[in-house]
Amino acid sequence: MTIPAHSRRKSKYEPRSVPEGEKLATSAMIASLDSEGRETVAAPFGHALVDLAKTREDIVGLSADLSKYTDLHVFAQAHPDRFYQMGMAEAVLMSAAAGLAREGFTPFATTYAVFASRRAYDFIAMAIAEENLPVKICCALPGLTTGYGPSHQATEDLAIMRGMPNLTVIDPCDAVEIDQATRAIAETPGPVYMRLLRGQVPDVLGKYGYRFELGRAQTIRDGSDVLFISSGFMTMRVLDAAEALARDGVSCAVLHSPTIKPLDAETIAAEARKSGRLVITTENHSVTGGLGEAVAGALMRAGVHVPFRQVALPDEYLDAGALPTLHEQYGLSVGRITARVKTWLEE
């Protein structure tokens, strides 16, 4: 018997049942990336796209059988005549998005980050980036945001996409930034690759009055001992780590750099030049080829020589498991970050 494609994909990710009285700490596919008690926003990407489409008839959405898992289902329900379900065929997805862009549309193509960066790379390069078309590639499960192992953990997507000419690369932090960045990239003339957090996404930057600006790194918190340069949900983590370290007398600044390419090298160099601070890049990505190496290269080219460390995932295929366990194992938890900072400051 042949099982329909949509049934195969859906059943694979069905949440497991929990016996009565057992607390489910996390789901391998969709888990909280933030500390408990923080306010969350449901599907910020999908709702921002719906809002944009009210006044932008050129906005269309495409998915490779993953609209529910990229929050594009919100757009599909609001604008069914502007939604295209391409099935489990990422190359077709990107090629169709390119064709729509050539006809004057602004396509938002969604899938998982591993499928865009690994499976569809050549189609993105040849059909979209080389032609500098306004296709917005928005991808869920970036880095270590799923416990399903190497087949779904896009731990090298930033390294892959940074190497593609004409492509803007964005790693937003939270619901506030996803909403603002979605609106900003809709106005950007060329192609964009943006990482997505989906479902109930924490609101972290709202209390700081943050406003996303494409290509800009912004200081969220100032400090005199450590300069964290971070992107994605790791900005949530280092803000919490900065508070924990402050209780031990360590003053930490946080420079949030959501645009990985083009990198705001000028702001990063200016902040790193401030004397007496250990510079630490933190990212939800392999230690190879992501924000850390981009920052290190920018500092070297600017002639800025400072103590420099990286918090990142190892250059290896990661284990499967529950996300809190994996984040602790691979050093992305607040506790592991604070411990490493204290060790580095003592060296």
- Gap between the Cα atoms of 57 and 106, Å rounded: 9
Hey, CA dihedral for 85, 87, 89, 90, is it positive or negative? Answer: positive
CA distances from 93 to 135, 192, 198 (A): 11, 15, 20
- Gap between the Cα atoms of 73 and 122, Å rounded: 27
Q: What one-letter code names the amino acid at 33?
A: L
Q: Do 170 and 291 meet the contact criterion of CB atoms below 8 Å apart? A: no
- Gap between the Cα atoms of 81 and 46, Å rounded: 16
Q: Hey, what are 338's tokens? A: 């604070």
- Partners of 255 in the beta sheet? 219, 229
> Helices H, strands E: what count in the chain?
14, 14
- Gap between the Cα atoms of 34 and 313, Å rounded: 18
Q: Do 59 and 152 meet the contact criterion of CB atoms below 8 Å apart? A: no
Region of 132 please: left (phi>0), alpha (psi -120 to 50) or beta: left
DSSP 235: H
- Partners of 193 in the beta sheet? 137, 169
CA distances from 252 to 173, 175, 245, 270 (A): 18, 24, 8, 16
Query: Which residue among 57, 90, 131, 156 is the active-site one?
Result: 90
36 a catalytic residue: no
Q: Hey, what are 248's tokens? A: 């031990």
- Partners of 256 in the beta sheet? 218, 230
Closest to 90 measured CA to CA, from 44, 139, 46, 53: 139
By annotation, the residues acting in catalysis are 90
